[in-house]
């Protein structure tokens, strides 16, 4: 399984494809002169699972987290709304969670922060199999490549705790990369609101489910769903939304 010539032609500069077991040298630690340089001048897109973890780390409700830390871009030119972590206006567009000592939400940092300097893309076959592709991004500001610590994409992702992130992101991909989306489906305004509610605002979703946002649910079913923990509720929400959007 490899990238096609068309895929390769679209890779950005400083980027090359990487097989999951091909070794590369890299190590990131606070002793490097580039420490936290990668936490500035970012466009950090957030997945639903990123928001779930960050909301928990900050102790805020999902609605308050979205209000304080997230920029929502909801352009009709895009199939789905996009969510980005807010950067601080400090002249360097630093992440709201970076300090001189490092990341204050390290245990719950987004998947994009964990996977860097790799990138991961997944494709899902008709039989439910997942095809993974990795790229290695070597940017001038990142000096972690000078450390001679041997890694592979497979081990690095494991070390960075990415398996759980990948599990949720692959489920969300069943919506983002649905065949109807590839065929040009346009989401209606109400569907765009459901996308934000079901995937990113789980505390408000519990309230809305109690208020009847999902038609024809029995009181027992409502109670069962709103009692789920955040991870279970997100899995339920992804599946419900997928069926709602692509009938
Ligand atoms: S969340 Fe943490 S690791 Fe990610 S950019 Fe912000 S400070 Fe850096
Ligand atoms: S080594 Fe790279 S990833 Fe690690 S702190 Fe430096 S710039 Fe960031």
Q: What is the pLDDT of residue 2?
A: 46
For ligand 2, the distance from its centroid to the CA atom of residue 149, given in whole angstroms, is 14
Pairing of strands 24-25, 70-73: unpaired
109 lines ligand 1 (CB under 6 A): yes
Question: Which ligand neighbours the alpha carbon of 38 most closely?
Answer: 2
98 lines ligand 1 (CB under 6 A): yes
Q: Measuring from atom 7 of ligand 2, which residue has the nearest CA? A: 142
Q: Which atom of ligand 1 is nearest to the CA of 98?
A: 7
For ligand 1, the distance from its centroid to the CA atom of residue 57, given in whole angstroms, is 12
Q: Which atom of ligand 2 is nearest to the CA of 28?
A: 4
Q: Which atom of ligand 1 is nearest to the CA of 99?
A: 7
Q: What is the pLDDT of residue 5?
A: 53
205 lines ligand 1 (CB under 6 A): no
Contact partners, residue 101, CB within 8 Å, separation at least 6: 30
Q: Best mutation site among 29, 56, 98, 106 for ligand 1, i.e. most ligand atoms within 8 A of its Cβ?
A: 98
Q: What is the pLDDT of residue 12?
A: 78
Q: Which atom of ligand 2 is nearest to the CA of 27?
A: 1
Per-residue pLDDT in tens (0 to 9) along the chain, 247 residues: 345 555 656 777 899 999 999 999 999 999 999 999 999 999 999 999 999 999 999 999 999 999 999 999 999 889 999 999 999 999 999 999 999 999 999 999 999 999 999 998 887 766 667 788 999 999 999 999 998 899 999 999 999 999 999 999 999 999 999 999 999 998 999 999 999 999 999 999 999 999 999 999 999 999 999 999 999 999 999 999 999 999 8
The answer to whether residues 168 and 48 touch, using CB atoms and an 8 Å cutoff, is yes
Give the whole-angstrom CA distance, residue 116 versus residue 137. Answer: 8
Q: Which atom of ligand 1 is nearest to the CA of 36?
A: 8
């Amino acid at each position: 399984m490899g990238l096609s010539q068309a895929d390769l032609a679209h890779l950005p500069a400083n980027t090359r494809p990487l097989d999951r077991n091909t070794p590369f040298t890299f190590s990131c630690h606070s002793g490097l002169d580039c420490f936290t340089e990668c936490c500035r001048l970012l466009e950090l897109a957030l997945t639903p699972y990123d928001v779930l973890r960050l909301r928990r780390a900050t102790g805020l409700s999902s609605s308050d987290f979205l209000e304080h830390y997230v920029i929502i871009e909801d352009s009709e030119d895009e199939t789905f709304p996009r969510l980005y972590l807010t950067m601080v206006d400090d002249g360097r567009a630093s992440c709201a969670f970076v300090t001189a000592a490092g990341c204050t939400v390290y245990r719950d940092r987004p998947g994009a922060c964990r996977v860097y300097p790799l990138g991961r893309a997944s494709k899902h076959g008709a039989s439910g199999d997942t095809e993974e592709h990795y790229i290695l991004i070597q940017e001038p500001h990142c000096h972690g490549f000078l450390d001679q610590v041997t890694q592979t994409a497979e081990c690095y992702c494991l070390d960075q705790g990415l398996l759980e992130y990948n599990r949720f992101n692959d489920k969300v991909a069943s919506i983002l990369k649905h065949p109807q989306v590839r065929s040009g489906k346009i989401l209606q305004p109400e569907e765009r609101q459901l996308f934000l509610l079901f995937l990113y605002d789980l505390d408000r979703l519990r309230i809305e489910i109690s208020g009847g946002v999902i038609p024809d649910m029995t009181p027992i079913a409502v109670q069962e769903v709103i009692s789920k923990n955040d991870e279970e509720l997100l899995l339920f929400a992804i599946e419900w939304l997928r069926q709602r959007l692509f009938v």
